[in-house]
Amino acid sequence: MQFCRVEREGHLLVVTLDRPEVRNALHRAASDELDHVWTLYETDPELRVAILTGAGDRSFSAGYDMREPSAPAGERDGVGFLAHRHLRGLGGLTLRYDMTKPIIAAVNGFALGGGLELALACDIIVAAEHAEFGLPEPRVGRMALEGGMHRLVRSMPLKTAMGMLLTGRRVSAHEAYRTGLVNEVVPLADLLPAARRWADEILACAPLSVQGTKQAVMQGLDLSLPAAVGLVPQTMAKALVSADQVEGVNAFLESRAPRWSGR
């Protein structure tokens, strides 16, 4: 890997954006590499939860690397951006809508522009106390086109989200927590341990139940409640007839910890 570090810890995958010299901004080659990582994560039955973080203590990610010389001129000046961006978005993740496995963002510094869009594409966000969040694109004549504007209004109160979107203002980690954008705020030294604690809690659950829950919630976001309740996505259907469902009941009746197989 050239642009990220990937560590496997049992059923956990830890992915670290590793371009600190440009505040972990990502160009097309980095997104290609990360797209490969997420595809491997998605298809490996032994991997059940992932953590995404950034190298260093200043920046989770500054988003798209607009200074990358190899980027088409249209991308650097804003013209033709939509035509040239990665099929599955920044970091191979922001436009990857079919991921059923959970991802935890461990935000180790500022998450601005595409960096916030990356964090928003994750399911849980844990932030260091000094982290800052914002979508400053309008201040340079651009927009958050990697799903950020739409995810933001689904992640916090509408007026608060619009205040950020229309002004490009940054918010602190604690303000992000108060508005529901962030799940937990911790000192920087405790960031990865906190993210791993969240991962351990996910790993205590049946993997197919976790994936089925995520898939059903994501697909049901824009439906009425009755329609959403009636959804039975593929992963949920698989979980309902899985060996793990039987194991979970047996473990409860026998007062022991379940042994999940993922089947």
Contacts with 47 (C-beta within 8 Å, 6 or more apart), sequence order:
8, 11, 12, 13, 40, 41, 101
Angle at 91 between CA 90 and CA 95, to 5 degrees: 50
Could you confirm whether 175 is annotated as catalytic? Answer: no
Phi, psi for 124 (deg, rounded to 5): -135, 140
Q: Residue 79 region, left (φ>0) first, then alpha (ψ -120 to 50), else beta?
A: beta
Catalytic residue among 46, 68, 75, 137: 137
Which ranges constitute the DSSP H helices of the chain? 28-43, 73-77, 81-84, 114-120, 148-153, 158-167, 173-178, 191-203, 207-220, 225-229, 234-240, 243-253
Q: Is 201 a catalytic residue?
A: no
* Catalytic member of 75, 117, 132, 146: 117
- Which among 102, 110, 88, 131 has a CA at the least distance from the CA of 13? 102
Catalogue the active-site residues: 117, 137
